[in-house]
Amino acid sequence: MGSVYLSRTRGNQPVALKVIRREYAQDEEFRRRFEQEATAARRVQGYHIVPVVDHDTTGPQPWLATTYVPGLALDQILIEHGTLPLPAVLQLTGCAAEALHAVHKAGVIHRDMKPSNILIGSEGPWIIDFGIARATDATQLTRSGGLIGTPQFMSPEHAGGQDLTPATDVFSLGLIAAVAATGRHPYGDAGAITLATKIANTEFRPPDLTVYPEPLRTVLERTLAADPAARPTPSELAELCQELGERPLRDFTGWLPAPIAADIAHREQLARHQAETEPGPDSGDAAGADTAPPGPAAGAATVPPGAAAAAGTAPPDAVTSDGYTPTQASLPGEQRPHDPT
């Protein structure tokens, strides 16, 4: 949906600033839906949720700001460090389920649960981008007849173009757990569209879950049920994962393998260093890219006009780009792919 920048509030708190792509910004129906979804997302509060702190739909390009988490996206962890130990996956799944409980309680459906929308930090996993994908539906469906979301992590009802309920997020979380623990997708190694087709037909050809170890298999059998009504609620899934993992979900002492924990600790250190040594937005000085901590995704090095809180209407701690350029969210010399989500 756009590019993500590392930015800061007027109170000098780091935020992830997502600036929406121009083709969406030019569609008034999208702006209306984006405003609706962003407003709903700001109501969501709970454990393991990266909250939306501000947004704007009136400028040349709409934007959305969330609290910045100096961690690693799950997809990045799987690429750079490989699969996670089963206890960590159970804890990750249980915590993400707790987050989904809060999301659904606020009347929001995530609709695009995937590894890149789960950030892993020292204090557990964090869900981002809840509910925002729905804002693109009218624009995208009108243009291409396609579906919004990530095909290989859709639920059967989502892949089949049916109405969605909160149970769609539970199915997607089950797929994420399978991949995070084993690197194997329950529906095989085909391309994304082929996987979505297999998922849509899961009632007639369910995946072979016998290849997955216990207790992960128990989680998958529950979450990957073809019938949405047969899947556990997020609260039930959280309790199941805590029981199977034999560890309190909120005990994060040593919950990650040492290399991953060290990588995250390094990012946290960079974030603290930047906050201590660099001037805030009100000073008028640019934040230095050479010391920028890595963010959830890479973006361009400048923010388009309009990605600032409106003068006279912004809350005291609102996002602003006046007087400085947000730093690119990547380590010096690190090559990160552009995030088109």
Q: Which tens digit of pLDDT belongs to each residue from 70-82?
A: 999 999 999 999 9
Write out pLDDT tens, residues 4-30. Answer: 898 888 888 889 999 988 888 888 888
Which residue from 324, 336, 296 is spatially nearest to 128, judged by alpha carbons?
A: 296
The whole-angstrom separation of Cα 304 and Cα 292 is 19
Instruction: Estimate to the nearest angstrom the gap between the alpha carbon of 309 and the chain centroid.
Output: 23
- pLDDT of 145 reads 43
pLDDT tens-digit map of 119-153: 999 999 999 988 777 765 544 444 444 456 789 99
Identify the pLDDT of residue 337.
33
Q: How far is CA 156 from the centre of its chain?
A: 21
Q: What is the pLDDT of residue 93?
A: 98
And the tokens for 166?
A: 């909160």
Q: What's the predicted TM-score (pTM) here? A: 0.80
pLDDT digits (tens, 9 = 90+) for 235-266: 999 999 999 999 999 999 999 999 999 999 99
Q: Enumerate the active-site residues.
A: 112
pLDDT, position 289: 29
Give the CA diameter of the chain: 62
What domains are defined for the chain? 72-245 (1.10.510.10)
pLDDT tens column, 193-233: 999 999 999 999 999 999 999 999 999 999 999 999 999 99
